[in-house]
């Protein structure tokens, strides 16, 4: 079988294993970021505490196969917060914290919705309608946050 290399262009990603079936490719990887800002005090945290549960994030299809990235987000411990043992999870840079899709795949799903329906786009991309609706909730939250920030700034 002929093979070739694809540059994912995702920073701080170390690929550990690749599984491929007739319909899907799944990459198991670790992120390598140096730290994260504390969710409580905002201080930069670089003291590694452990991993979160696995997250499966769907990316653009490759060669007609669905393509999923699986990683365990790193958690960092804050030693200066009043709340002892508070940790913050570092989210990979290539997806929104609550999303099941990469930013690139989210854009494709939205563009395909032009002159189509949610059901059609979900079926064509192997995405459940619930996951697709979660994407819309994320977008509306981002829009509302942006509006809130606009009022806050002005």
What is the contact surface with Zn ion in residues (CB under 5 A)? 38, 40-41, 78, 81
- Decide whether 85 or 146 has the Cβ nearer to Zn ion: 85
- Decide whether 40 or 139 has the Cβ nearer to Zn ion: 40
CB of 87 to Zn ion, least distance (A): 9
CA 124, CA 122: separation in Å to the nearest integer? 6
Q: How many CA atoms lie within 13 A of 145 on its CB side?
A: 6
Token couple for 30: 């670790």
CB of 52 to Zn ion, least distance (A): 17
CB of 66 to Zn ion, least distance (A): 38
- Decide whether 27 or 38 has the Cβ nearer to Zn ion: 38
Question: CB within 8 A of 15, min separation 6: which ones?
Answer: 27, 28, 29
């Amino acid at each position: 079988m002929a093979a070739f290399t694809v540059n994912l262009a995702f920073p701080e990603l170390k690929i550990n294993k690749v599984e491929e079936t007739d319909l899907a490719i799944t990459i198991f990887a670790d992120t390598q970021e140096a730290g994260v800002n504390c969710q409580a005090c905002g201080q930069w945290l670089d003291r590694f505490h452990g991993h979160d549960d696995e997250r499966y994030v769907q990316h653009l299809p490759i060669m007609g196969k669905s393509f999923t990235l699986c990683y365990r987000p790193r958690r960092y411990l804050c030693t200066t917060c009043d709340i002892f043992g508070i940790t913050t999870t570092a989210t990979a840079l290539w997806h929104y914290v609550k999303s099941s899709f990469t930013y690139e795949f989210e854009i494709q799903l939205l563009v395909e919705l032009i002159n189509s329906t949610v059901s059609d786009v979900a079926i064509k991309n192997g995405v459940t309608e619930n996951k697709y609706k979660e994407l819309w909730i994320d977008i509306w939250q981002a829009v509302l946050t942006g509006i809130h920030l606009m009022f806050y700034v002005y």
